[in-house]
Amino acid sequence: MANARPIIGIPTWSDRSALYHNAPIHALGQPYVHAIQRAGGIPLLIPVGPDEESLQTLATRVDGVLLAGGGDVDPTLYGQDPHPALRDVDRARDDLELSLARLALHRGLPILGICRGIQVLNVATGGTLYQDLPSERPGPFSHGCFQPQFPPDHLAHEVASEPGSLLARIMGQATFGVNSRHHQGIHRLGKGWNAVAHAPDGLVEAVENPDHPFALGVQWHPENLLGLPEHGLCLFAALVAACGAR
Ligand code: MN
């Protein structure tokens, strides 16, 4: 029976709270949670540090997975030495998200990766990243339109989607503007992915796996674009629909 309100697992990460004497806390930006709720899903926040057996059990209880944005993936996980501009590496988060991504890909569990999430999907399948776009791949415009100079829904550049792709069907348009808050990007594609959207400078902005029911990664931040008619909830609604159809 189709599940009317699918449960979407979202990994959290470790942070510190000044409110609680700098005690460690689990963190996750609320826009991700609210987007899943508004799309009709039930978000389930996943703590860092589960053992592999617990994670495998968890993967049988959720209907889909969302990978949120955040710091850089440890480059040793794709065979590179750290770049001087590397920031906010969190190996416990890497381990959790890479394991969960591989489980979701292996089991046909719907998964959407956002910003860092597309990079996790790529590394999980043997791909590599540009560790720092400004120094490794300088281009005609910046992908690093971060707050507070830029509002979260600032449309930094256009992307062009591949005709006939799942992404193009979800978006309902061939080209559209996106926000851009990343200093890393997809370099060599991991196994199983098609690059289905590119920025004007040629950088990969979305990937999908055509052999999987719903495995999609986007380099932009759709959770901050819900108020724009050309974006709205469409990516989150597509994830929730794919989870409910299982
Ligand atoms: Mn970008």
pLDDT tens profile 211-232: 999 999 999 999 999 999 999 9
Q: Which of 97, 223, 231, 234 is catalytic?
A: 223
Span 83-111, pLDDT tens digits: 999 999 999 999 999 999 999 999 999 99
- Position 128 confidence tier, pLDDT thresholds 50, 70, 90: very high
Q: Look at residue 3 in the predicted model and tell me its pLDDT.
A: 52
223 has catalytic annotation: yes
Span 143-172, pLDDT tens digits: 999 999 999 999 999 999 999 999 999 999
DSSP-derived 3-state class of residue 216: strand
DSSP, res 144? B
Are 18 and 26 contacting, i.e. CB atoms less than 8 angstroms apart?
A: no
Q: Which of 183, 221, 234, 243 is catalytic?
A: 221
CA distance 70 to 86: 12
pTM: 0.97
pLDDT at 2 over 70: no
pLDDT at 1 over 70: no
Q: How far is the CA of 158 from the centre of ligand 1 (A)?
A: 8
231 has catalytic annotation: no
Choice between 3 and 231, residue whose per-residue pLDDT is larger: 231
The residues whose Cβ lies within 5 A of ligand 1, an ion, are 143, 180
- Position 137 confidence tier, pLDDT thresholds 50, 70, 90: very high
The set of residues, in sequence order, having a beta carbon less than 8 Å from that of 80 and lying 6+ positions away, is 128, 131
Share of the chain above pLDDT 70, in %: 99
CA-to-CA separations, 217 to 43, 61, 151, 169, 244, in angstroms, rounded: 18, 22, 22, 15, 19
Span 34-74, pLDDT tens digits: 999 999 999 999 999 989 999 999 999 999 999 999 999 99
208 has catalytic annotation: no
Q: What is the dihedral of CA 239, 71, 192, 214, to 10 degrees?
A: 0
CA distance 136 to 120: 19
Provide the token pair at 205: 């902005």
For all residues of the chain together, what is the average pLDDT? 96
Q: How far is the CA of 199 from the centre of ligand 1 (A)?
A: 7
pLDDT at 246 over 90: no
> Smallest Cα–Cα separation from 118: which of 140, 97, 103, 135?
97
